Structure 1
Amino acid sequence: MTNQKSKIKNQDSSINRVGIIGAGTMGSGIAQVAATAGCQVKLFDLNEEQLKNAEFALEKILSRLVQKSRIDETEKSRIQSNIQYVNTLEDLSDSDLTIEAIVENLEVKKKVFGELETLVSADCIIASNTSSLSITSIAASLENPERCLGIHFFNPAPLMKLVEIIPAVQTDESITDMCVSTIKNWGKTTAVAKDTPGFIVNRVARPFYSEALRMYEEGMAEVPMLDKIVRQMGFRMGPFELMDFIGHDVNYVVTESVFAAFYFDPRYKPSLTQKRLVEAGWLGRKSGRGFYKFEDGNKIEPDHDPEMLTGADIKAIQDRLLVMLINEAADALYLKIAIAKDLDNAMTKGVNYPKGLLAWADEKGLPWCVQQLDALYDFYREDRYRCSPLLRSKASKKEKFFPV
């Protein structure tokens, strides 16, 4: 292992050789993105069968793009020739950038990073695609932690535009700048986030699930109606169908980890309803049952008549969900998790929200947001509904998040 301080790359240096650790869906998707951008990619996995599956899946994806006239055969061959499938970590030794996309286990990641650092050059950037683990803790496993940061893609990586860039406490600023530039050159929108639980998207999106679950538990409406009401707001999927799509084992664990990481702040409290689904093995689409039943991966629509709700009932549900999301985004800005533009870009391009939440707050009016939150707090007397100080401050000053 080298004992010299990491030689930080000059910002003008280019990243051409990329190593990806993990040939699952995410790792393979990142490899496709980098290869399409012209990088020489080595996709590593110890499991040779997984590597074969990744190569086969890429062939299928690219052939479909050819059929749709999105690319031609020459482009398909170029992308495929840019990816080499390898099963020893030593094969990544000449990488300019490595991105780890393996199991969400801190100790496993630390072990892999520690071994990787002994193999790559002193100026190789070492990144993690983790969606929720501490980048600072991962970086601490390295002798030269200033070369480490988070580069968080969203699934499916080739289609989703957003990539969160998360510098650790130790990360050299030039490394962050270089990775932002590189990922933009790969055709993605970047959002730089502070290394806090959930980063931007997995933090700000928590109320989309938790408040919907809370309203269901309170009997405000049944699952299909709640999903329908939320879709009417412009969201592509309702919260319950989205949780079924993601998988309750994944969604619940993220909520639980964010809750614990924020020292059990009631704003992030998990739902017993979702926990029971996990305990039952009703994980959603992947298991054939969650909030909905599935057949061959397709949701089976309920056969009973929809509930009849008044316009006031529907508005109350929509307003409550929206203001809780706005409050979370405002608090993320207040705590300097990210700048306003990156926060809104993260939600529109990372999880396809119809509008950026801070822009939506400006549209609704910040005094309206404060009034809604205070009414919820006065009724429930729970810290879960406390208004963000920034939201209250801006409302009192008649300011907006995005002044014209």
Structure 2
Amino acid sequence: MPTLTSPSPDDVPVAVVGAGAMGAGIAQVAATAGHPVALVDAATGAAEDAVARIIGSLQRLEAKGRLSSAQLEEVVERISTADTVERLPRSALVVEAVREDLATKRDLFARLARTQPADAVLATNTSSLDITAIADGIPDPARVIGLHFFNPPPVMRLVEVVRGAESGRDVLDDATELMRAWGKSPVRCTSTPGFIVNRVARPFYGEAQRMLMAGVADAATLDAALRSAGFRMGPLELTDFIGQDVNLAVGTSVWEQTDRDPRYEPTSLQQELVAAGHLGRKTGRGVYRYAADGAALGAEPDEQRLAELLEGPIETNPVARTLAMLVNEAVDLVHRGEATAADVDTAMTLGTNYPKGPIAWGREIGYAAVADQLAALDRAFPGGRYRPSPALREGQD
């Protein structure tokens, strides 16, 4: 079987397991890059439906002049479907994009290990589960890695290339180069809970929720404060856009995998929203209520209160408080050796559209100043959530 770095993509067959939005998007990316792609899903007809969606996506690109009709036909011809995992053709790379459940993924990888070539790379698109746990029991776990794409895969450039405890360095290197060949911007990290993006981003959501619960300001004013710092969306409107249930599930996964570290503890506000079925835009109600056209109702900020917050102390300043926590999380991740500073900033600017990477922000604000801000927060809200990373005082990143 050719390696992932074979000169011709025609020689590197790819299989994708799971034909939802992520699986279909990954299949489209691989086929567009020139690979023969086989798509399979446990649900009858799902893979065929995914191919139809891919064709629709390609037709929209054609209409915009970004793809010729001949290129469209070539991409579609590269995509096939299989009835079962066992009937997938022999592949150099298999990417799974099934539901976010450890038992399901482990069972799938055991089946792939039995039916795919011994040198096939087995990659999971998990957003937060442990790569090492997924690979447990697989012969030659060196070939098991994470390839975490972001939604929608044909548009989003970022891919987190994730190393499990036994993932082979050569496999990771080859996969990284393959992602670059696919036009992506890969970043490397170890299998820390939430990897880079979903771990470092936790405070962006959590601080606003805690300030809303404490009555610091209304949701619209808190969101306006973060937009004033260059974020495209405020944290509360963003969780409504993502889906409160989806955001809570990722946050809970990170919290559980870090032995319930108070830094990542989900808020009762978000738990209550999910329990009530107020999941955000998709249900017409979340933090905000939504009109039929999707516009948020009552989302006008209190301009006077906004000005007061931005000039106020760290405890009630949404921007300073959120940035301090983002910088702390990013610096701590780098300090633990789980990713480089450059990869953290790349991940957060590409994966979450932050106006600046948190490491760059920390250098700008000053690590000592961030440490002092966190110390003040720790005094105001004891319990461990705001403990400063030792690296802040050491000036490391």
- For normalisation by structure 1, the TM-score amounts to 0.92
Q: How far is the alpha carbon of 1:379 from its aligned partner?
A: 2.0
Q: 1:8 to 1:107 in 2, by over 3 A?
A: farther
Aligned residues: 390
Distance 1:63 1:122 in 2: 37
The match for 2:99 is 103
Cα distance, 1:153–1:305 mapped onto 2, change above 3 Å: closer
Shift of 1:93: 3.5
| CA distance, structure 2, for counterparts of residue 54 and residue 262 of structure 1 | 36
User: In the aligned structure 1, how far is the partner of 2:370 from the partner of 2:205?
Assistant: 19
Q: 1:42 aligns with which of 35, 38, 61?
A: 38
Q: Displacement of 1:196 after TM fit?
A: 1.3
- 1:100-134 deviation per Cα after TM superposition (whole angstroms, max 9, x unaligned): 00001111111111111111111101110001111
Q: Give the RMSD, CA atoms, in angstroms.
A: 1.9
1:368 equivalenced with 2:369 (yes/no): yes
Q: Which of 214, 222, 237 pairs up with 2:233?
A: 237
Q: Work out whether residues 145 and 163 of structure 2, in 8 Å CA contact, stay in contact via their aligned partners in 1.
A: yes
| Structure 2 match to 1:88 | 84
- The corresponding residue for 1:247 is 243
1:209 is paired with a residue whose SS is helix
Report the counterpart of residue 322 of structure 2 in structure 1: 321
Measured at CA, do residues 8 and 186 of structure 1 come closer, stay the same or move farther in structure 2, by a change above 3 Å?
closer
Work out which of the residue numbers 253, 257, 269 in structure 2 matches 1:257.
Answer: 253
1:195-206 matches, cutoff 5 A:
195-206=191-202
Counterpart CA distance in 1 for 2:307 and 2:300 is: 21
Deviates more, 1:313-322 or 1:326-335: 313-322
* Deviation of the 1:9 alpha carbon: 5.1
**2:288, 2:297 within 8 Å by CA — same for their partners in 1?**
yes
Q: Which consecutive unaligned segments of at least 5 residues does structure 1 have?
A: 1-6, 395-399
Q: Are 1:144 and 2:140 an aligned pair?
A: yes
Q: 1:304 to 1:318 in 2, by over 3 A?
A: closer
Letter of the 1:170 counterpart: E
User: Do the aligned residues in 2 keep the contact of 1:244 with 1:290 (CA within 8 Å)?
Assistant: yes
Match of 1:225 in 2: 221
Structure 1 counterpart of 2:156:
160
Shift of 1:90: 2.7
Q: Which amino acid letter does the alignment assign opposite residue 46 of structure 1? A: A
TM-score, normalised to structure 2's length?
0.94
Question: What are the superposed Cα offsets for residues 128-175 of structure 1, whole Å, 9 maximum, x if unpaired?
Answer: 000111100111131221110111001111111110011111111111
Q: Does 1:113 align with 2:109?
A: yes
Q: 1:286 to 1:48 in 2, by over 3 A?
A: same
Q: Which residues of structure 2 form unaligned runs of 5+?
A: 312-316
User: Given the alignment of the two structures, is residue 193 of structure 1 paired with residue 189 of structure 2, yes or no?
Assistant: yes
Residue identity in the other structure for 1:213: Q
Shift in CA distance, 211/12, structure 1 to aligned 2, threshold 3 Å: same
SS for the counterpart of 2:372 is helix
Whether the aligned pair in 2 keeps the contact of 1:113 and 1:141 (CA below 8 Å) is no
Counterparts of residues 2-401 of structure 1 (less than 5 Å): 16-296=12-292, 298-302=294-298, 306=302, 308-309=304-305, 311-315=307-311, 316-394=317-395, 401=397
- Tell whether the 8 Å contact from 2:220 to 2:301 is kept in structure 1 after alignment: no
CA contact 1:127–1:148 (8 Å) conserved in 2: yes
Secondary structure of 1:27's counterpart equals helix
Describe the shift of the 1:303–1:29 C-alpha distance in structure 2 as closer, same or farther (beyond 3 A): closer
Q: Secondary structure at the match of 2:233?
A: coil
More divergent stretch after superposition (339-348 vs 135-144): 135-144
